[in-house]
Amino acid sequence: MLSGGEILAVLCGSIVGFSLALIGGGGSILATPLLLYVVGMRDPHMAIGTSAVAVGANAFANLLPHARSGHVRWRAAFVFAAAGVCGAWLGSSAGKAMDGHRLLALFALLMLVVAFLMLRGRRGGSSDRYPLPNAMPRLAAVGLGAGALSGFFGIGGGFLIVPGLMFASGMEIINAIGTSLFSVGTFAATTAGNYAISGLVDWRVAAEFVGGGIVGGWLGALGARRLAGTRGALNLIFAGVIVVVAIYMLYRSLAHVA
């Protein structure tokens, strides 16, 4: 029978999986504070490394229902992820050297900027213009930058990858969400490997997160398909989740640093 802590880990994993499948992001930035403040991990770097394992596994698992629905642009996914892996390894190496709570505070500020950009982008609509001419060099450049930031902050980076894919290739948001899960999984796996080398992964908790995330992911994918026909709904949810989590994380991180 599962203990109280194990049940919490499974439930938190379900929340992360739901977020990843529904909006293509928010998973890692939800996983890390959940591990710290709900499951009870004390070391921010251990939480970051463990969340990277869980988010990577959940992203790949949740990629399947999006692929079946035709929401994955595979060529763009491979180019974006291939460039981003190099950035993720370099970024995660730098992130391990920084205080974990300062990383969370900086990341929360970055999330608020991205949320603003996503809300601003809703005004012009989001028709599918994929593939844009000469998109591959842009995909590689944006992928490299997103991978570096993802690795540095110890996240899957979906909140960066979704708008990055839309900007670089012209795809609409539902396809960017499906495509982003491949890069989220790849970046998170790269970061997790770097943290695991330093012994900064709790494999038991990661497995519990993955189990809960698979269930939450299927529910999130169903919600994403239903919301796809509502103009701007996914953008609004995406930005709203980012703002709420960013404010919460900023409060907790600054309180600890102070």
pLDDT digits (tens, 9 = 90+) for 199-215: 999 999 999 988 888 88
User: Who's near 89: CB < 8 A, 6+ residues apart?
Assistant: 151, 190, 194
Average pLDDT over residues 68-79: 92
Do 241 and 26 meet the contact criterion of CB atoms below 8 Å apart? yes
3-state helix, strand, coil in the chain (%, to 5): 80, 0, 20
8-state DSSP, 123: G
Confidence of residue 133 (pLDDT cuts 50, 70, 90): confident
% of the chain residues with pLDDT over 90: 28
Q: Evaluate if residue 174 carries a pLDDT over 60.
A: yes
Do 162 and 182 meet the contact criterion of CB atoms below 8 Å apart? no
Nearest to 150 by CA among 210, 208, 102, 81: 81
**What are the C-alpha distances in Å from 234 to residues 23, 25, 75, 225, 238?**
7, 11, 23, 10, 6
Confidence of residue 102 (pLDDT cuts 50, 70, 90): confident
8-state DSSP, 130: P
Backbone angles phi, psi at 250, to 5 degrees: -65, -45
% of the chain residues with pLDDT over 70: 88
Interatomic CA distance for residues 128 and 103, integer angstroms: 35
- Ranges of beta strands (E only) in 100-237 are none
> Domain coordinates of the chain in residue numbers?
4-257
